[in-house]
Amino acid sequence: MAEKRIIVVGGGLSGLMATMKAAEKGVKVDLFSLCPVKRSHSVCAQGGINAALDTKGDNDSTWEHFDDTIYGGDFLANQTPVKEMCDKAPGLIYTMDRMGVMFSRTPEGLLDLRLFGGVKYPRTAFAGATTGQQLLYACDEQVRKWEDAGMVKKYEEWEFLSAVIDDDGVCRGIVAQDLATMEISTFAADAVLLATGGAGMIYGRSTNSIINTGSAAGAVYQQGVSYANGEFVQIHPTAMPGDDKNRLMSESARGEGGRVWTYKDGKPWYFLEEWYPAYGNLVPRDIAARAIFKVCVEMGLGIDGENKVYLDLSHKDSDFLNIRLGGIMEIYEKFHGDDPRKVPMKIFPSVHYFMGGIHVDYKHQTAVPGLFASGECDYMYHGANRLGANSLLSALYSGTVSGPAIVEYINGLDKSAKEVDKKHFEQELKRQQEWNDKIIKMDGSENPYKLHQEMGDIMTENVTVVRYNDKLQQTDEKLQELQERWHNINIQDASAWGNQGLMFTKQLWNMMQLARVITIGALNRDESRGAHYKPDFPNRNDDEWMKTTKAKYTPDGPVFEYEEIDNQWIKPRPRKYDVDKGASKNE
Amino acid sequence: MSREFIHLKVKRQDTAETSAYWEEFKIPYKPNMNVVSVLMELRKNPVNVEGRKTNPVVWECNCLEEVCGACSMRINGMPRQACSALIDKIEKSPIVLEPLHKFPVIRDLKVDRQVMFDYLRKITGWVNIDGSWELGRGPRFPEKDRQWAYQLSRCMTCGCCLESCPNYSERSPFIGPQAINQVRLFNAHPIGQMDREKRLDAIMGVGGITDCGNAQNCARACPKEIPLTVSIADLNKDTTLYGMKRWLYK
């Protein structure tokens, strides 16, 4: 067999970790990214990364971390991979520490830990309030070392368009487009990993980066890969609403003592502390987002009658805040103008994270052999609601699974991608070339950015914190109308060089496909579980709905099937945060 | 300052090879905008001041909260991040947008900063661990040192320091403050310092630390307020001592 070569699409934490793991095993990697990998969205994660290091005398354990994660996810996640992740977390953090991550330290130079939502012990390692950036930089540096050694070739400023799948249904490479020259090319590989992150752009404004369109996931979904648990979208309770995006104000603000309040009867009202005495301000995100939504939208008690409440750190010492939370202090001050060390921040919930994603097995392989997915673009570790500081963990950890799994897979292959009939590559290239030619000629009357705004507005209105079936139905009808109107776009810019509008129009199409998956998935699921909340069906219904949603593409819209869940470790129990969660036993 | 329109003057360039030209725009004003959100509005109706339809302006941006480093450009002559350039705080009109001067233009405001990543390779910009497998707890590190090293590690490779440095240009071999700062960072780490001499070698000689003319523009231009001049001064000392030692024990 010829030289082994794989493709990794996406240079965030998961993609870079998988790249590192493959290179260590002697497998060459072609690494594709929309942007220089150092600018990937992982940089935006702030508060920290969870691991039961138990360095604070709390008798914390990986089992407790596992139980918190399953309970926090409202018993939707398959339990075995979550257990593995929590078991491996301490070792992974120590490895990142060896790579030079500037984690905050205790007085004796060990990794410091802080509190986060939905837990009782400090379990979150952190580097100020820019933990994601620091972890990404460490991975970027290690991959640069492999690049220097000739094991990694970067294709930065290239966009993934589709997978090349042969007649046997095996993935043999990708089609990608150079974002400067606009040239579309095929690349052969023994296996392909998608590590392409979340899809916040479907909602217009979110805490995500502009590049988080979910377009790559949408593309392989249309090629037959299932999309799982799409309806589970995390709304982060504390973000700074903005015109261009909503800027995250980390949960670590509450972990370090921040309090959420608004005025009631002329006096400060700490509603989270009143409603959830056991966890207070540190209830999980779905609970906190719903509470803030209730206070503002239903009770009309937002500050100055607007949809905003206070996140208050002004009682804490400024030096303490600068050291522990400097990154978010700076963002709030720069973008809002007020100094959060002196006055409370004004915040409102925002779309933040996709618990759902590409359906994969425990080795992160999709139903298409040779096509893998890991990181936020997969669906694996968070169930119906993700706990804070578990995303950096799942991003990194999933890369430590997908990377070696791909190596194992290609070692078992009987022919290399180079030996595959060229016609498969030519066919897929032709399909993408024709799609490109169609779009570049579109001279209708719609503006793609305005269509995107319309989609984002209706998704934000109806498919976020509170969901009603009639509204979801209307949203799906609107999405179909938007898809029709997409064909009437005017491309504005027909140039064959650095054409961002052309790429955006392609991404928009893929976003529209996933928007329907999310909306109809929510419409179908008549229960409330984690981030998915329907006032008309306020309870969790394990008998009917403790199942993974799997959406499959058809030209007439998604069709759904539901898969049983692996809950062999922890017996499902009701989830409440007004009292202690109680413990499951590690038997 | 109250304004009805935001008047933009943008230096445009259609391809890497063609010549640059100016185009002006008027975008309806809304409160709390920044340069990125103005460019986003413009895409929804790409018409210039003469009322002529034109291609939307091309620029680079990702995170919009000043942690990714993508959206560097010259705004009224100053290199900075477009996302944190708040319109309400810019008095001057028109607001002049240009691509960074010291990097090749790809299109309009988008430039190619690959050279900065190449320099990170040149200085061995990583901690040379044996492998990513588990080896137990990492080295202890004093919190007081961690605090200043963390400041250095927040460099986003945005290019503002190189843009403002009189000793750096596309044709000069100077690796610039960002790469020198990273040498200091990796040399501070308990494992990273095992390759200390290799990194010092990389910044001694042509294009190295002695090419710094001490203009100190870099530290003023850095959006993350990284003490770049302190890093340069610190490594001046290290390279001098190391140079003497290298000469004595050759």
Residue among B67, B108, B134 whose CB faces A44 most closely = B67
User: Is A141's CB within 8 Å of B127's CB?
Assistant: yes
Alpha carbons within 13 A on the beta-carbon side of A124: 32
Rounded CA-CA distance A66/A529 in Å is: 18
Position A67 pLDDT exceeds 70:
yes
A188 pLDDT band (50/70/90 cuts)?
Answer: very high
Q: Does A501 touch chain B (CB under 8 A)?
A: yes
Percent of chain A with pLDDT over 70: 99
User: Is B64's CB within 8 Å of A247's CB?
Assistant: yes
Q: What is the reported pLDDT for B137?
A: 95
Q: Is domain B114-248 in CATH 1.10.1060.10, yes or no?
A: yes
Cβ neighbours, 10 Å, residue B80: 21
* Over residues A285-305, mean pLDDT: 96
The answer to whether the Cα torsion of B3, B6, B7, B9 is positive or negative is: positive
* CA distance, residue B172 to nearest chain A CA (Å): 23
* Complex-level ipTM: 0.98
User: Are the beta carbons of A383 and A122 closer than 8 angstroms?
Assistant: no
* Over residues B60-88, mean pLDDT: 97
* CA distance, residue B107 to nearest chain A CA (Å): 6
pLDDT in tens, B190-219: 999 999 999 999 999 999 999 999 999 999
Strand-pair category, A5-9 with A191-194? parallel
DSSP-derived letter for residue B109 is: T
User: Is A335's CB within 8 Å of B86's CB?
Assistant: yes
* Over residues A96-105, mean pLDDT: 98
* CA distance, residue A105 to nearest chain B CA (Å): 5
Domain ranges of chain B: 5-111, 114-248
Rounded CA-CA distance A174/A163 in Å is: 4
Q: What is the reported pLDDT for B97?
A: 98
Rounded CA-CA distance A394/A380 in Å is: 9
A114, A285, A525, A575: which is the annotated catalytic residue? A285
Q: CA B99, B101, B103: angle at the middle one, nearest 5?
A: 90
Position A66 pLDDT exceeds 80:
yes
* Over residues B50-66, mean pLDDT: 97
pLDDT in tens, A256-285: 999 999 999 999 999 999 999 999 999 999
User: Could you confirm whether A285 is annotated as catalytic?
Assistant: yes
Alpha-helix residue ranges (DSSP H) falling in B165-227: 176-188, 196-202, 217-221
Which residue out of B45, B58, B62 would a mutagenesis test of the A interface target, given it has the greatest number of A Cβ atoms within 10 Å? B62
* Over residues A550-560, mean pLDDT: 97
Instruction: For residue B117, give the H/E element and its range.
Output: helix B114-122
Q: How far, CA to CA in Å, does A24 sit from each of A8, A493, B3, B12, B142?
A: 15, 44, 57, 44, 31
B150 residue type, one letter:
Y
Q: What is the reported pLDDT for A132?
A: 98
* Per-residue tokens: A145: 């070392």
Query: Which class for B232: exposed (0-12), middle (13-18), buried (19 or more C-beta within 10 A)?
Result: buried
User: Are the beta carbons of B31 and B61 closer than 8 angstroms?
Assistant: no
* Over residues B96-110, mean pLDDT: 98
Closest CA to A498 of B55, B162, B40: B55
Identify the closest residue of chain B to A37 by CA–CA distance. Answer: B68
* CA distance, residue B248 to nearest chain A CA (Å): 31
Residue among A43, A107, A141 whose CB faces B63 most closely = A43
Size of interface A-B (CB pairs under 8 A): 198
Closest CA to A331 of A390, A265, A253: A253
Which residue out of B65, B103, B145 would a mutagenesis test of the A interface target, given it has the greatest number of A Cβ atoms within 10 Å? B65
The DSSP bridge partners found for residue A351 are A235
A3 pLDDT band (50/70/90 cuts)?
Answer: confident
User: Are the beta carbons of A468 and A523 closer than 8 angstroms?
Assistant: no
Q: What is the reported pLDDT for A580?
A: 87
Domain ranges of chain A: 235-352
Report helix, strand or coil for A11: coil
A77 pLDDT band (50/70/90 cuts)?
Answer: very high
Chain A contact set for B141 (CB, 8 A):
105, 109
Position A316 pLDDT exceeds 60:
yes
User: Is A95's CB within 8 Å of B135's CB?
Assistant: yes
* Over residues A207-214, mean pLDDT: 98
Chain A contact set for B150 (CB, 8 A):
102, 104, 127-128, 134
User: Are the beta carbons of A380 and A365 closer than 8 angstroms?
Assistant: no
Q: Would residue A266 be called left, alpha or beta, if left means φ above 0 and alpha means ψ between -120 and 50 degrees?
A: left
* Per-residue tokens: A344: 């409370």
Rounded CA-CA distance B233/B209 in Å is: 9
Q: Does A176 touch chain B (CB under 8 A)?
A: no
Q: Is domain B5-111 in CATH 1.10.3210.10, yes or no?
A: no
Rounded CA-CA distance B221/B176 in Å is: 13
* Over residues A342-350, mean pLDDT: 97
Cβ neighbours, 10 Å, residue A365: 21
Residue among A211, A244, A449 whose CB faces B36 most closely = A244
Chain A contact set for B121 (CB, 8 A):
144, 147-148
* CA distance, residue A365 to nearest chain B CA (Å): 22
Position A199 pLDDT exceeds 80:
yes
Q: Is domain A235-352 in CATH 3.40.50.2000, yes or no?
A: no
Residue among B46, B108, B149 whose CB faces A102 most closely = B149
Cβ neighbours, 10 Å, residue A106: 13
Topology agreement, domain B5-111 and domain B114-248: no
Percent of chain A with pLDDT over 90: 96
Identify the closest residue of chain A to B37 by CA–CA distance. Answer: A244
Q: What is the reported pLDDT for B2?
A: 63
Q: What is the reported pLDDT for A587?
A: 56
Chain B contact set for A248 (CB, 8 A):
65
Position A34 pLDDT exceeds 90:
yes
Chain B contact set for A210 (CB, 8 A):
61-64
Q: Does A134 touch chain B (CB under 8 A)?
A: yes
Q: Which of residues 96-125 of A touch B (CB under 8 A)?
A: 97-100, 102-110, 112
Rounded CA-CA distance A227/A358 in Å is: 5
* Per-residue tokens: B10: 């943008």
Rounded CA-CA distance A545/A562 in Å is: 9
Sheet holding A191-194, edge to edge: A152-156, A28-33, A5-9, A191-194, A371-373
User: Is B189's CB within 8 Å of A100's CB?
Assistant: yes
Report residue A60 CA to chain centroid gap.
27
User: Are the beta carbons of A263 and A557 closer than 8 angstroms?
Assistant: no
Q: What is the largest CA-CA distance in chain B?
A: 72
pLDDT in tens, A511-552: 999 999 999 999 999 999 999 999 999 999 999 999 999 999
Position B70 pLDDT exceeds 80:
yes
A2 pLDDT band (50/70/90 cuts)?
Answer: low
Position A586 pLDDT exceeds 90:
no
Q: Does B20 touch chain A (CB under 8 A)?
A: no
Sheet holding A309-312, edge to edge: A247-248, A233-240, A345-354, A309-312, A259-264, A267-269
The answer to whether the Cα torsion of A137, A141, A142, A144 is positive or negative is: positive
Q: Which of residues 86-115 of B touch A (CB under 8 A)?
A: 86, 106-108, 110, 113-114
* Over residues B115-124, mean pLDDT: 98
Q: What is the mean pLDDT of chain A?
A: 96
The answer to whether the Cα torsion of A365, A370, A373, A378 is positive or negative is: negative
User: Are the beta carbons of A392 and A85 closer than 8 angstroms?
Assistant: no
Which residue out of B48, B68, B222 would a mutagenesis test of the A interface target, given it has the greatest number of A Cβ atoms within 10 Å? B68
Which residue out of A35, A87, A210, A402 would a mutagenesis test of the B interface target, given it has the greatest number of B Cβ atoms within 10 Å? A210
Rounded CA-CA distance A90/B191 in Å is: 20
At residue A366, φ and ψ (nearest 5 deg) are -80, 180
Position B224 pLDDT exceeds 90:
yes
Encode burial over A424-446: b for 16+ CB neighbours within 10 A, e otherwise.
bbeebbeebeeebeebbebeeeb
* Over residues A360-371, mean pLDDT: 98
